[in-house]
Amino acid sequence: MRIAIGADHAGVLLKQHLVDGILRGHDVTDVGANSTEPVDYPDIARAVVKRIRRGEAERGILICGTGIGMAMAAGKFPGIRAATCTDSFSAEMSRRHNDANVLCLGARVLGTGLAEHIVGAWLEALFEGGRHATRVGKLEDRTSGEIR
């Protein structure tokens, strides 16, 4: 699978661990960061989103301290369904029901073993479509932002 991955300074070590481990065998594009020098997570999220929106990657993985800022930053772009997951059940369901195309992880929340398990569950699970496709379609409904 073509996967774009990025992390801020808080997530750079976990990113490297995943790239060297569970993501081996995938076609991985690492957009950085490559050091623990502080960087702004929205800039990294944007770089991963760009790869997906251009069709250069099918999925994205974003890592920051909590996984929260990355999900906020990525999720505002059309076509991006970003899920912060702290357990593998949620990761699996984010694929099966939400068709999440970006997984966000918190390096300050997760141990490396759990992070690998979450990534594995997320990569394996398939979107179920059907009624979930209807609901996911509504996520892209721009008019829903007009609720008063």
By annotation, the residues acting in catalysis are 64, 97
Q: Mask 105-124, x = binds ligand RB5 (CB under 6 A)?
A: --------------------
Give the Å distances, CA to CA, from 77 to 48, 49, 142: 11, 8, 11
Instruction: Tell me the two tokens of residue 126.
Output: 């398939």
Q: Work out how close the CB of 107 gets to ligand RB5 at its nearest, in angstroms, rounded to a whole number.
A: 8
Give the Å distances, CA to CA, from 78 to 46, 50, 87, 138: 12, 11, 26, 12
Per DSSP, what are the bridge partners of residue 109? none
Q: Mask 64-93, x = binds ligand RB5 (CB under 6 A)?
A: xxx-xx------------------------
Interface ranges with ligand RB5 (CB under 6 A): 8, 10, 41, 64-66, 68-69
